[in-house]
Amino acid sequence: MIESIEEVQETFVEQHYIADRALATTIYLAHHLKKPIFLEGEPGVGKTEVAKVLAGATGGNLIRLQCYEGLDVNSALYEWNYTKQILQLRIDEVQGMDKEQIGADLFSEEFLLKRPLLEAIQADGAAPPVLLIDEVDRSDSEFEAFLLEILSDFQITIPEIGTIRAKHIPYVVLTSNRTREIHEALKRRCLYQWIDYPSVEKEFAIVKTKLPHIDDMLAQQLCNLMRVFREGDYYKKPGVAETLDWGLALIALGKDGLDPAIVDETLGCIFKYQDDIQRARETGLDKMVDGARSDSEANDAEKADWRYMRG
């Protein structure tokens, strides 16, 4: 599926993901150069989704490592199954095993608990797995340093067992919401891609792909209004995830067009902070909704585009 940039784009559309050419190029190159991808951008622009779709498209397993404050090697890489080891010792003892034999194979793979990174390296399916290291910015810098080591040679040394090398170099996708700056050394190992909020046309295509039953007019108005909201000065701007949530809510309410009253009632789908909801109301929903509605008539011509993008 990754023989050309166009092919990547088409396969992604089959998986209901609209990838622009820059992102498709990144994936194409990541495949051929065996390099990790580093995706950065605001929350809700579909960074994590890229890994899921990539796994779906290549047929590889998706292995996910969610980062958090204090994530350590034991929960990211491997840990010994201590309870099982103790039980094994007891069994050996009860069975009256030779003194030398007792505990001889306690540190073998049988007693190893595999965590995501080891799992990704040991995977031996037909297709290489997709390793998603999500929200790297939440981990601490010690863990970043450790990742750097793993991502440069894809091998892990477990003192009791030896060195394990990856059978397939996995696809690696790292994501960051930029709650803090990630060290450049790590980013420079990867193909860096900034994911922005989609353009109105792209978002329309996304909405139509994800919610095929939505009315064209409604979808267009939705995307227009989203752009207006994103241009405003809000604490947390709505992402694509919010657009889809909102679309779903409007479908459930049986709407085929926007009006100020319905937007007001469903503002909770778009903004997650009371201050933002307040601000949206103060800015004047009537005017914004009117704008979105008149824009959608003007944009009718562009609708042909998304059909093309869907292939």
Partner 1 sequence: MTNQQPLLQEITAFCRLLKQMGVNVTTTNQISFCRSVEIIDIGEQQDFYDTAKMNLIANESDRALFDTAFDWFWRYPRPDPQELGIDTDEEQVMSLENLFNAEETVVNLDQWTEMDDDKEEGEEDTIAYSAEKVLTQKDFGQFTAEEMQKAQEVIAKLVPLLATKLSRRKKTSTKGKTIDFRRSWRKNIAYGGEPLKLIRKRQKVKKNKILLLCDVSGSMDYYSTFLIQFIYGMQQALEEVEVAVFSTELTNITGLLRRKGLEEGLREVAQVVPDWSGGTRIGESIVAFNREFGRSFSAYRTVVILISDGWDRGEADILQKGMEVLHRQAYKLIWLNPLLGSEGYQPICRGIRTALPHVDYFLPAHNLDSLIQLTKVLTPIWSD
Query: Which of 14, 32, 284, 297 lies at the binding interface for partner 1 (CB under 8 A)?
Result: 32
Query: Which of 7, 43, 169, 277 lies at the binding interface for partner 1 (CB under 8 A)?
Result: 43
Residue identified by tokens 């005017």 is 287
**Window of 57-65, 187-195, 208-216, 292-300 that interacts with partner 1 by CB under 8 A:** 187-195
Total Cβ atoms within 10 A of residue 225: 25
**Closest approach of Cβ 214 to partner 1, in Å?**
30
Which strands form 62-66's sheet, in the order they lie side by side?
62-66, 130-134, 171-176, 37-41, 191-195
Query: Which of 165, 167, 188, 287 lies at the binding interface for partner 1 (CB under 8 A)?
Result: 188
Q: Taking CB under 8 A as the rule, does residue 282 contact partner 1? A: no
State the virtual CA torsion across 140, 72, 53, 238 in degrees, nearest 10: -40
Calculate the alpha carbon distances from 295 to 243, 261, 289, 290, 301 in Å. Answer: 17, 19, 10, 9, 11
**Closest approach of Cβ 114 to partner 1, in Å?**
16
Read off φ and ψ for residue 304, nearest 5 degrees: -55, -30
Site residues for partner 1, 232-251, by CB under 8 A, read: 233, 235-236
**Closest approach of Cβ 91 to partner 1, in Å?**
12
Calculate the alpha carbon distances from 197 to 5, 40, 223, 231 in Å. Answer: 22, 12, 11, 11
# binding residues, partner 1 (CB under 8 A): 45
**Closest approach of Cβ 191 to partner 1, in Å?**
4
Quick one: which of 202, 289, 160 has its CA closest to 22? 202
**Window of 34-42, 117-125, 160-168, 302-310 that interacts with partner 1 by CB under 8 A:** 34-42
Q: Taking CB under 8 A as the rule, does residue 193 contact partner 1? A: yes
Whole-angstrom Cα Rg for the chain: 24
The two three-digit tokens of residue 123, written as one number = 């995977």
Q: Taking CB under 8 A as the rule, does residue 272 contact partner 1? A: no
Nearest CB to partner 1, comparing residues 22 and 253: 22
Query: Which of 82, 272, 287, 297 lies at the binding interface for partner 1 (CB under 8 A)?
Result: 82
Calculate the alpha carbon distances from 124 to 86, 130, 278 in Å. Answer: 30, 12, 53
Query: Which of 10, 12, 40, 51 lies at the binding interface for partner 1 (CB under 8 A)?
Result: 40
Taking the chain, what is the end-to-end CA distance rounded to the nearest angstrom? 15
Query: Which of 104, 109, 161, 180 lies at the binding interface for partner 1 (CB under 8 A)?
Result: 180
Q: Taking CB under 8 A as the rule, does residue 21 contact partner 1? A: yes
* Under 8 Å between Cβ of 14 and 136: no
**Window of 119-127, 174-182, 206-214, 300-308 that interacts with partner 1 by CB under 8 A:** 174-182
**Closest approach of Cβ 236 to partner 1, in Å?**
8
Nearest CB to partner 1, comparing residues 188 and 286: 188
Q: Taking CB under 8 A as the rule, does residue 108 contact partner 1? A: no
**Window of 124-132, 133-141, 200-208, 244-252 that interacts with partner 1 by CB under 8 A:** 133-141
Residue identified by tokens 């694509």 is 240
Residue 140 in 3-state DSSP?
Answer: coil
28: burial class by Cβ within 10 Å (0-12, 13-18, 19+)? buried
- Interface residues with partner 1 (CB under 8 A)? 5, 21-22, 25-26, 28-29, 32-33, 35, 38, 40, 43, 69-70, 74, 79-80, 82, 85-86, 89, 103, 138, 140-141, 177-181, 183-184, 187-194, 233, 235-236, 275
